[in-house]
Structure 1
Amino acid sequence: MKKKKIKRKKGYIILTIIILLVIVLCLVTTEKLTTVRYTYETDKLEAPLRVAMVSDLHSCYYGENQRDLTDALDAEKPDAVLLGGDIFDKSLKNDNAYTFLEYIAGRYPCYYVTGNHEYARREVVTIKKNLTALGITVLDGECARLNVGSETVNICGIDDFGAVGERTARAQLKRASEGADEDNLTILLSHRPREAEEYLKYGFDLILCGHTHGGQWRIPGVMNGFFVPSDGFFPKYAGGEYTLDGATMIVSRGLARESHPVPRIFNSPELVIIDIV
């Protein structure tokens, strides 16, 4: 009887160790930056174009001078960088965010929209002013033109839907869409994917969002995302590519790491690269 109890106890100990090792391995591997690639096909371009999307950085640390992130970005040689909001964090210092932004502003055409954390800091006016001074195009109801060689793409953007409210966000969507040249490919940059049905009303071709952090926990092939504070459990648009009625939406799982109290599980922080062909 004692031998059975000893064996059972050893079994529990071994099982506990295995579970702990799996958890540690999971946490370590899913904190590593990954590059996620998408291909978007259109008949509105004659030459291919590559854009990078950086979302939900939350002023997190990516090595000295943010080199882990900037090196990954430079390796992809994008034609433009689209910043999908929450580049800053409501609690962390702004240093890491500005270090990254100062670097990319001198190398790439950059376009920025706010997320909810820029508003939570109560510094959104200052942030917009500083980014404009760096040469980054701030979009809050505008539609800019990205010119690469002989190609022109409309880059439209709005402030965070939840922060400015429906009335203001809808007015910005209308103004941005009216500023787009219908002959060009039109990209909408907006922080939250939950309002996808609203975005579809304005005829955008490609919609780029963030905010969800991939639902924080994932089980690939089983569960795309577990929880988003603003959307609840098992959010519809947790991360990835979605084919909508007349448009494609890509949702970045973002780059947040130490800024969030809940660790990412099977959900690596990601740099998104989109080849438009």
Structure 2
Amino acid sequence: MSSEVPDYHKEQIKKVKSASGKYGRRDWFWNLLSILVPTILAGSYSWFEAGWFEVTKKKINIPKIPAGKKVKVLHLSDLHLSEVVSIKHIDQAFQKGMENSPDVCLLTGDFITSQPTDAQLLDLRNCLAQYSKKIPTFACLGNHDGGYWSGKNGGFQTDEKIRAVLKDARVRLLDNQQVSVLIKGVPLTITGLGDLWSKQCRPEKCLNKKSYATHLLLSHNPDAKDILRDYHWDLMLAGHTHGGQFRIPFVNFAPFAPVKDLSMTEGLHSSHGKPIFITRGVGNVYGVRINCRPEVSLLELVNS
């Protein structure tokens, strides 16, 4: 009969170590899985949502529209042709818009993200030309389209390439310029401003004259409203925000929208008694959207 007294303390330590080695690895696996699965699902959804268009339709009252008349506007912005936004995606936006038989197309800048290849620019030109031959199409430029801001952030130093694309596609670029047109029997004055961040927004060059026609103002960045309050216009169309690209569910807040005024990141708003419509845009940066689908905006201008 052994006279040795078992060391229960050592035995217990051995059991704990054995258990921790056996079950610790399993726990580690499940903990890792609990992190990876939601991350992968969230990433997959945000990528999916970036390609899931929402076609929004809004009726806007413009007192200058003649009684009994209306103008249907297709408003697209922030195409952002890039490695994460394909020409197929951009073409799909135009297709969805054209299905609703708009009378005029208004584009509010950021046709590209950085420095697309010549082949990509040719694809963009061909896409735009396909639709500009169907309805009158007007545009202004955005901060990604070349120039001061773009050159400092990995893009083109000048906007020459985008100007050439628009010209070849027969899209009328309005760069601190305005034009008078007749759409469906409705006289319109359309003004396009240079981009605010690119330091090219010059309202004094094109907004001094009061227009008796309905005046539509194209400005890529809605923050430009702060320097436009003393000028005349009937409806301002803008983009730039991407709707925030990420919106907090339930509270519908976009904390990362690239604007000073976070109260105006999408939809119809009023500034100093004048209406501003901000579209969430077609493309994106980084290839993802969360609770903020890309938007094809159809606006019906009426005198209600």
TM > 0.5: yes
Cα pair 1:224 1:239 within 8 Å, conserved: no
Asked whether 1:189 is paired with 2:209, we answer no
For 2:140 and 2:228, locate their aligned partners in 1 and report how far apart those are by CA, in whole Å.
15
| Poorly superposed stretches of 4+, deviation over 3 Å | 5-23
Asked whether 1:58 is paired with 2:80, we answer yes
Instruction: Kindly report the root-mean-square deviation, in angstroms, between the aligned alpha carbons of the 2 structures.
Output: 2.8
- What TM-score comes out, normalization by structure 2 length? 0.76
Asked whether 1:39 is paired with 2:59, we answer yes
Give the superposition deviation at 1:18.
5.3
Structure 1 residue matching 2:228: 3-state secondary structure: helix
Structure 1 residue matching 2:230: 3-state secondary structure: helix
For 2:51 and 2:30, locate their aligned partners in 1 and report how far apart those are by CA, in whole Å.
30
For 1:128 and 1:184, locate their aligned partners in 2 and report how far apart those are by CA, in whole Å.
27
Seen in structure 2, the aligned counterparts of structure 1 residues 34 and 96 have a Cα distance that, compared at 3 Å, is: farther
Residues 139-181 of structure 1: per-residue CA shift (max 9 Å, x gap): 112211231232111111111112135xxx2xx3123223452
Seen in structure 2, the aligned counterparts of structure 1 residues 62 and 180 have a Cα distance that, compared at 3 Å, is: farther
* 5+ residue gaps, structure 1: none
Residues 167-224 of structure 1: per-residue CA shift (max 9 Å, x gap): xx2xx3123223452x211111011111212122202111111111111201354133
Cα pair 1:225 1:239 within 8 Å, conserved: no
Query: Which of residues 177, 180, 199 is equivalent to 1:164?
Result: 199
For 1:124 and 1:67, locate their aligned partners in 2 and report how far apart those are by CA, in whole Å.
22
In structure 2, the residue matched to 1:209 is: 238
Instruction: Report 1:107-186 matches (<5 A).
Output: 107-119=134-146, 120=150, 121-165=156-200, 169=201, 172-181=202-211, 183-186=212-215
Instruction: Report 1:22-37 matches (<5 A).
Output: 22-37=42-57
Residues 26-67 of structure 1: per-residue CA shift (max 9 Å, x gap): 442343122122221122112011111111101231428x54
The residue type equivalent to 2:62 in the other structure is T
Give the superposition deviation at 1:15.
5.4
Cα pair 2:105 2:138 within 8 Å, conserved: yes
Of the structure 1 ranges 106-115 and 212-221, higher mean CA displacement relative to structure 2 is found in 212-221
For 1:91 and 1:160, locate their aligned partners in 2 and report how far apart those are by CA, in whole Å.
18
Seen in structure 2, the aligned counterparts of structure 1 residues 209 and 247 have a Cα distance that, compared at 3 Å, is: same
Cα pair 1:214 1:225 within 8 Å, conserved: yes
Residues 214-242 of structure 1: per-residue CA shift (max 9 Å, x gap): 1120135413312134x37x833222221
The residue type equivalent to 2:186 in the other structure is E
Give the superposition deviation at 1:105.
1.8
For 1:131 and 1:180, locate their aligned partners in 2 and report how far apart those are by CA, in whole Å.
28
Asked whether 1:274 is paired with 2:296, we answer no
Give the superposition deviation at 1:275.
0.8
- What TM-score comes out, normalization by structure 1 length? 0.83
Residues 56-113 of structure 1: per-residue CA shift (max 9 Å, x gap): 101231428x542232122011111111011123233324422321112211101111
Q: How many residues align?
A: 265
In structure 2, the residue matched to 1:265 is: 290
For 1:179 and 1:90, locate their aligned partners in 2 and report how far apart those are by CA, in whole Å.
36
Cα pair 2:125 2:169 within 8 Å, conserved: no
Which of structures 1 and 2 has the bigger CA Rg? 2
Residues 95-132 of structure 1: per-residue CA shift (max 9 Å, x gap): 44223211122111011111111122134134324423
Seen in structure 2, the aligned counterparts of structure 1 residues 241 and 162 have a Cα distance that, compared at 3 Å, is: same
In structure 1, the residue matched to 2:93 is: 69
Structure 2 residue matching 1:195: 3-state secondary structure: helix
In structure 1, the residue matched to 2:276 is: 249
Cα pair 2:126 2:169 within 8 Å, conserved: no
Give the superposition deviation at 1:262.
6.0
Seen in structure 2, the aligned counterparts of structure 1 residues 236 and 62 have a Cα distance that, compared at 3 Å, is: same
Of the structure 1 ranges 76-85 and 130-139, higher mean CA displacement relative to structure 2 is found in 130-139
Cα pair 2:104 2:183 within 8 Å, conserved: no
Identity of aligned residues (%): 21
In structure 1, the residue matched to 2:11 is: none
For 2:278 and 2:166, locate their aligned partners in 1 and report how far apart those are by CA, in whole Å.
23
